[in-house]
Amino acid sequence: MITNTELEYKGNLYPNEIVDFKQDTDKLYFTTVNGVILQITVLRNSMVRFRYATDHNFEPDFSYALNKNALRGYNELNVHETPTEYIIATVRMRILVDKKTLRTQISDPEGNIICEDELGFHWEENYEYGGNIIKMSKITRTGESFYGMGDKATHSNLKGKRVENWVTDQYAYGKDQDPLYKAIPFYVGLTDNKAYGIFFDNTFKTHFDFAQEKKHVTSFWADGGEMNYYFIYGPEMEKVVRLYTDLTGTPELPPLWALGFQQSKWSYFPESRVKEIAKNFRDLKIPCDGLYLDIDYMDGFRCFTWDKKLFPDPKRMIAELAEDGFKTVVMIDPGIKIDRDYWIYQEAMEHDYFCKRGDGPYMHGKVWPGECNFPDFTNPKVRKWWAELYKEFMADMGVHAVWNDMNEPAVMEVPSKTAPLDTRHDYDGHPSTHRKAHNIYGMQMVRATYNGVKKHVYPKRPFVITRAAYAGTQRYACTWTGDNVATWEHLWLANVQMQRMCISGYSFVGSDIGGFAEQPDGELFARWVQLGIFHPFCRVHSSGDHGDQEPWSFGEEITDIVRKYIELRYQLLPYLYTMFYKYSKEGLPMLRALVLYDQEDPQTHFRTDEFIYGQQILVCPIQEPNSKGRRMYVPRGNWYNYWTGEVIVGGMEKWVVADIDKIPMFIKEGAMIPKYPVQQYVGELKVLELLIDVYFKLGVENSTVYEDAQDGFDYKKGRYSLRNFKLNGKENELIIQQFKDGTYTTSYETIKMQLHGLPFTIESVLIDSEKVSLDDVKLLENNCIEVNKEFTTLQLLGS
């Protein structure tokens, strides 16, 4: 019997007085009397890492989240000691470390406090599992708002919310239900127009309280591991997001077809049904690039097999679909059926590739094939083996892309919905249980898949989709928000989830358009398509249990509306591709919540509906039935109504007319929006002329158009075309300058510019300081002109 209450329950433990300090270049170490070590690493002028050890010991320093090519370096680092604290200064931040408590305070160079500890670091011994439950609490300042945290089905501003990260299969989840399929422990704090970010790189179950329990305290904690977090200072939100995205990485450019419209269902079979779907798309002139095969294409749901009754010759079928412009995407799950006659099961058993329980037996779980074992994707040997399994599918049969599902991992008929916590993992040479590996299991599966697909579709680019993810998974795969429901509430959720994921560094994301569970009516489906064409990943997917959900499933009126918006998606492909280029190259989020676009305007801090598509298109979906329009907030500046050409002044709410065939859509003044002709699939047409919609502005605005071969890796050798445009509008003059980079030669020779809002009549045109005839530029009454793509300066003069 334990009679010493201090031993019976210690409760929270805290660092005490600092007794030692040392510096090793960019690393600073502070040690307390009771054996806590705080390691502060200065990574950049605006980024530092805080890492805490107890009992004088750090765990091995290893992370799946970090981008090995992330930028490092700072201009200066100074450390100063006072009687009460240590002061660490870079050119962007000042960090105070209290000598008595180890608590920290971060301010800008002018002394304005950005973030400071409340209790700071503390911990509790975990008597059930060993190790510590590690905790951090920060002071919440008056008016502070919080954003990010990946895929959370709740209001975009997290103030007053509590969430946790434990990737979970949540079929037909509801508003505010948590957790979901992803664990991205990164948030952005904003107050007094100063933004910072905290990335808590801990793969155990993590918890965040954004001033819910105590209105002046924000805290985060984990069920195990280390207190290890990165602090990023803006003060601009966009800078915080970009620095975090660089830290965790961005994807390579996808093939352009992956940004086209895609159609999926659980499930399309047999082959004749797949062919019927493909034929309907082409007969009805509805553009589509991808068709998906869910688990029913397999032989008894065994991964990397085909049901030869349903699909007698998959290689031929895939080739025939490709001739009609369709790429074939197949699903692969992690559960491997326990079947001694199944060659993949045999190989995994022979090489000991499956996860085991704590006492040695293999971890079993029921999934679609029945009883399954699960590969340990945290083992590099297993990932290499898994990658090679894709050779037959990709290189031999011609499959174009892969979709990893159920990779949380989802396990049926158990309360936890996943693997037992005592399941063992290699964790890349750092052995762990599932408590630590659960949140990165799906990430490591899709990492192996990405490596295999990339190798075996070469010289083409890989395209991989995942459901489960941890921070950094964006390096390997696109994602979607899981098994949503065909309701208006879920349309609202899809909009919020996309914006939140982009703030969280994961921009290549979409939702199951129309809802996975249940079935939408025609109006909801049309409204969802209107929103979905503005999401980076654009796919209709449904369970198939509640009726058909193809674009033509809801009558002629809805079919025509859906076609119109999918065609708009294809017209805007060069704009979307440029967005992706900036995301990949610079970490710029592809969608911007209004607060990310204009944090100085307090009216944006709680807006959920409106968002900026790229940098210059404002979109606001209709999210209620029977609507003829809606009120929406238009951010500051002048904006052109895309449908009417009317210019409106932002910084206030507006009523916008939007019947069933319209979505509120506005273009930032000064923008130059590139467009391609409508195609039934990417590559169907040779682009003979680039159309650019030019929206006049009194003043200066910059725009960009990025193009390359649309597939392959030549763009990494400089074979791309990057056109940077500078528009300068004056009372009687419009000047457009072009600055071109890259060696790629586009298929078109001319650029057609459609001029919107020009306040004067064009009387003369100068190209590179040479006056040209109005006939030479084919000036039409609607202010449309054609110029050679190589121009440097275009001047339009009027009276």
C-alpha separations of 139 from 115, 216, 219 in Å: 7, 6, 9
Residues 196/238, Cβ–Cβ less than 8 Å: no
Contacts of 346 (CB under 8 A, 6+ apart): 340
CA 396 to chain centre: 31
Q: For residue 771, with 0-12 CB atoms within 10 Å meaning exposed, 13-18 middle and 19 or more buried, which class applies?
A: exposed
Residues 284/552, Cβ–Cβ less than 8 Å: yes
Contacts of 734 (CB under 8 A, 6+ apart): 696, 727, 728, 755, 758, 795, 796
CA distance 595 to 298: 45
Instruction: Kindly report the backbone phi and psi dihedral angles of residue 57, in degrees, each rounded to the nearest multiple of 5, phi listed first.
Output: -125, 130
Helices (H), 407-554: 434-457, 488-503, 522-532
Specify the DSSP element, H or E, that contains 579.
Answer: helix 573-586
Helix (H, G, I), strand (E, B) or coil at 30: strand
Residues 211/481, Cβ–Cβ less than 8 Å: no
- No. of helices (H) and no. of strands (E), the chain: 13, 51
CA distance 208 to 210: 6
Specify the DSSP element, H or E, that contains 628.
Answer: none
**Residue 655 tokens, joined:** 């009523």
Instruction: Using alpha carbons, select from 378, 285, 383 the residue that is nearest to residue 325.
Output: 285
CA distance 605 to 615: 18
CA distance 307 to 426: 34
**Residue 532 tokens, joined:** 């979905």
**Residue 552 tokens, joined:** 């033509």
CA distance 262 to 210: 37
Q: Which residue, chain included where needed, has tokens 């054996």?
A: 35
3-class secondary structure per residue, 429-464: CCCEEHHHHHHHHHHHHHHHHHHHHHHHHCCCCCCE
C-alpha separations of 492 from 166, 169, 430, 620, 623 in Å: 23, 21, 42, 11, 6
CA distance 97 to 227: 16
Instruction: Using alpha carbons, select from 559, 494, 564 the residue that is nearest to residue 522.
Output: 559
Residues 494/528, Cβ–Cβ less than 8 Å: yes
Catalytic residues: 405, 408, 483
CA distance 726 to 392: 49
